[in-house]
Amino acid sequence: MRISIKTMKSIQIILGIWFSTVLQAVETDSNSTTLPTQDRPNVLWICIEDWSPDLSCYGTAGVHTPYVDKLASEGIRYEWAFTTSPVCSTSRSAMMTGFHQNYIRANQHRENNKQPLPHGVRPIPHLLAESGYFTAIMSKKTDCNFIPDKRKALFQGTDWNQRKPGQPFFARMTFPGTHRSWKRDPDRPIDIKDVELPPYYPDTSFARRDWANGLEQMQLVDRQIGELLTRLDKEGLADNTIVFFIGDHGRCHIRGKQFLYDGGIRIPMIMRWPDKVKPGQVSSDLVTSIDICATVLEVAGVTAPVPLHGKSLFSEDIKKRRHIFAARDKMDETHDAMRAIRSKRFKLIQNLMPERPWCQFNRYKESAYPVLAEMNILNIKGQLTPEQARFFAPVKPRIELFDLKSDPHEVRNVANNPDYTMIKNELWDQLQSWRQNVIQDQGVSTEFRAESQFPEKCPAPTTAEWVHANASKYDFKKTGWPAWYPTRSLEEWEKARNMWEPYVFRSPSAKVPRPVIPHTSRKKKK
């Protein structure tokens, strides 16, 4: 007897609903967790911006984050969690839907021509609202590269206290403090001697102070998180609320945000669910931010119209996962494109535009990263180590391969080492299959590459100055900014560093405004 495709899909949906209803327990790192069978839990999804696992519960030196640490002790902390993209709007687009951003055509950061979601994909809060949940976004930012993208179009309210009596809620809360700029912590300042810098950073007092300032800001955010969790307890909601804590992407430092190294895509992830998730767990599974979407729908008893790319954290799929994938495309008007595959031991990055430097002009970074000035000066003077100088090269290799067991900071590219040929070929094949079959990758167009659009060399002292002066002559939204390198002369970088100095070294209680580096501010809208 033949069964029609339509009938088969109906059977699959019925079986999916039945399975999620009768499932009683799954194993999480050999510890039992129980899924609900009757009452649907509330969901509180806490997100912090631009932050890697730089928390005391992850072993980071110098920082003190007792509230997040307590949350981790009450649930499960994921040691190897990753986002799908190293910048906010693309990673949030993925987290709002449960799909990789390239598949839903939301992969260009600060998309200038937003379109409705394709393929029948729908935002997670819409699916939950239709199932009876009250959905709330308790912070300002949605930052999605698709339509609908506004708060009122995606969520029903702004606080869980707006729901009807007895109605379960799904609430998203973002704490933006860890996004540059950073505040100092007068209650617990961090001595620069107590921090540890990665080897791709120069060990200078300037770099250490900037790093410590970021950790102090995280301490301030930790207290805000503590206040939110305390409110959950006081209102008697904690026992029936599953809490997720996550970073939207990696840290806003050099080789972090905007890039596919672990500094850009590895994030903290914690889940707490009293009486359902055994406390004190540490998972070594490879998990991603979009797995939270699948988990939320499962515990809410909701079936998505299109199977998500993410997998439930309670599923066996997570334990069997061998690789995670990530992608980067344009960042503001900085045109570049990269794809990555990562296992527990290896990472392969495919640079789709190897002719461009890593450090081509980006207005945001030159206006916000003090150490970018510090390292450009040292690079021009020839004072960086080979591992540090590599990131300031004028071009990139087509393939980067890292053995994370011996090189956790990804500073030694072994793509051309014959000892790694087999693993390189295996990862390459898996990455190309993902690009073709999962995200339907559009790659890089001739228009995006924008060759021969600009003068061969920068006619101004800085790329920023030239871009500012020529904004009316070029459509940078189409061509992107020019990829001239270096973007400033030694003299101009030294001017920028001098402007940063009093701000970076300000005392914990001092009010020193962040400097405005010339020609790096956005023009105010009229």
Beta bridge partners of 80: 286
Give the model's pLDDT for residue 523.
Answer: 56
Are 222 and 66 in contact by the 8 Å Cβ rule? The answer is: yes
Sheet hosting strand 324-328, strand order edge to edge? 324-328, 338-342, 346-351, 399-403
Residue 25 confidence (pLDDT):
35
374 close to 207: Cβ distance less than 8 angstroms:
yes
Query: Residue 464 belongs to what H/E stretch?
Result: helix 463-469
Pairing of strands 42-48, 241-247: parallel
Structure tokens at 335: 């045109």
Within its chain, how far is the Cα of 116 from the centroid?
23
Cis check for the bond before 394: say yes or no (omega within 30 of 0). no
- Structural domain boundaries of the chain? 29-320, 338-504
Per-residue pLDDT of the chain (526 residues; tens, 9 = 90+): 333 444 444 434 444 444 444 333 333 333 333 334 348 999 999 999 999 999 999 999 999 999 999 999 999 999 999 999 999 999 999 999 999 999 999 999 999 999 999 999 999 999 999 999 999 999 999 999 999 999 999 999 999 999 999 999 999 999 999 999 999 999 999 999 999 999 999 999 999 999 999 999 999 999 999 999 999 999 999 999 999 999 999 999 999 999 999 999 999 999 999 999 999 999 999 999 999 999 999 999 999 999 999 999 999 999 999 999 999 999 999 999 999 999 999 999 999 999 999 999 999 999 999 999 999 999 999 999 999 999 999 999 999 999 999 999 999 999 999 999 999 999 999 999 999 999 999 999 999 999 999 999 999 999 999 999 999 999 999 999 999 999 999 999 999 999 999 999 999 999 999 999 999 987 554 4
Q: What per-residue confidence (pLDDT) applies to 397?
A: 98
Tokens 């707006």 -> residue: 162
The whole-number pLDDT of residue 14 equals 41
- Cβ distance 35 to 24 under 8 Å? yes
- Measuring CA to CA, which residue among 109, 53, 35 is closest to residue 315? 35
Contact between 441 and 464 under an 8 Å Cβ cutoff? The reply is: no
Would strands 169-175 and 134-137 be described as parallel, antiparallel, or unpaired? parallel
pLDDT of the residue at 361: 98
CATH number for the domain formed by residue range(s) 29-320: 3.40.720.10
pLDDT at 39: 81
Residues, the chain: 526
pTM summary value: 0.91
